[in-house]
């Protein structure tokens, strides 16, 4: 039996094992997927052990950046982003990928995004993946709103180096901005009201990377209330997981992201 894993810390709850073990069952592969709590100071030991014991693994906070210098190579968008969330073990060589970028790009494209102005709330690693996907889909202007303006400016500097205009602003209510795409790359709206109303921004699509296992975040509830097309974080989680399985097992037939999403929500027979 081949073992796959998700690593993070503290990794209090994750739906990744539910997703991958279901896919493994459908594919008929003799594999299991497990969560592993790896403290930052133990990460380099884990990497050495993984070369001989794991077929691959996913990476979540706080290891997405620090893992980059511990594996053998980084591929594609992960190299541009300096952030890895999927690792494949190829004969003892650990190769790093970023399937967040792939999932976000596909979801935006299928949601009708075609280069319109975008507003990103947050300036962390997943916000960088969003920004790169926007660039590759033809975006010419991005607004970055962040509670810490300095971090927003750092992300804007990176975005501008990719040839996209960017404006960094402190996150405040009632800012008078407008954009076709609103992206939430923070936990805002999980346990508190979301600080902006997508209707007031003239938004045509909402992407909320936060998620709750059951129900909706406050931002997604607002999008539903005003009939605004939307993509939630659970969909992105499923999409990026399937991209990881594609890396590990190749282009073989697998469940659709919609089928898995319905199962996670208890809506599939």
Binding residue positions for NADP(+): 122-126, 209, 233
Distance separating alpha carbons of residues 150 and 158, to the nearest angstrom? 13
Partners of residue 146 on adjacent β-strands? 170
Q: Can you tell me the distance from the alpha carbon of 120 to that of 131, in angstroms, rounded to the nearest whole number?
A: 8
- How far apart, in Å, are the Cα atoms of 255 and each of 38, 44, 223, 250, 262? 30, 34, 27, 14, 11
Residue 192 is encoded by which pair of tokens? 């508190």
Q: Which residues are annotated as a binding site?
A: 14-16, 60, 85, 100, 122-126, 209, 211, 233, 240
Spatial CA neighbour of 78 closest among 100, 47, 46 = 100
Distance CA 90, CA 135 (A): 31
Q: Is 64 a catalytic residue?
A: yes
- Coil/strand/helix, residue 84: coil
Q: Give the active site residue among 25, 41, 64, 79.
A: 64
Strands 205-208 and 73-74: unpaired
Q: Which residues of 131-145 are buried (b: 16+ CB within 10 A; e: fewer)?
A: bbbbbebebebbbbb
In this structure, the dihedral spanned by the alpha carbons of residues 78, 83, 89 and 90, taken in order and rounded to 10 degrees, is 30
Catalytic residue numbers? Answer: 64
């Amino acid at each position: 039996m081949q073992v796959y894993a998700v690593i993070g810390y503290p990794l209090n709850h994750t739906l990744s094992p539910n997703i991958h073990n279901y896919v493994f069952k459908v594919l008929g592969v003799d594999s299991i997927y497990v969560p592993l709590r790896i403290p930052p100071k133990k990460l380099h030991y884990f990497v050495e052990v993984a070369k001989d014991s794991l077929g691959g693994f996913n990476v979540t906070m706080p290891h997405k950046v620090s893992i980059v210098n511990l594996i053998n190579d980084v591929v594609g968008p992960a190299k541009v982003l300096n952030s890895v969330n999927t690792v494949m073990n190829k004969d003892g060589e650990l190769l790093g990928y970023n399937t967040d970028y792939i999932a976000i790009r596909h979801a935006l494209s299928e949601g009708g995004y075609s280069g319109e102005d975008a507003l990103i709330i947050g300036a962390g690693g997943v916000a960088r993946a969003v920004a790169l996907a926007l660039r590759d889909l033809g975006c010419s202007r991005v607004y970055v709103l962040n509670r810490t303006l300095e971090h927003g400016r750092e992300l804007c500097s990176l975005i501008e180096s990719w040839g996209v205009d960017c404006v960094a602003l402190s996150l405040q209510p009632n800012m008078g901005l407008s954009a076709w795409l609103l992206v939430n790359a923070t936990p805002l709206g999980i346990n508190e009201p979301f600080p902006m109303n997508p209707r007031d921004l003239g938004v045509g699509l909402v992407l909320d990377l936060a998620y709750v296992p059951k129900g909706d975040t406050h931002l997604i509830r607002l999008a539903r209330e005003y009939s605004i097309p939307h993509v939630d974080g659970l969909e992105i989680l499923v999409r990026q997981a399937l991209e990881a399985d594609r890396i590990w097992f190749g282009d073989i037939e697998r469940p659709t992201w919609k089928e898995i999403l319905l199962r996670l929500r208890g809506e599939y027979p």
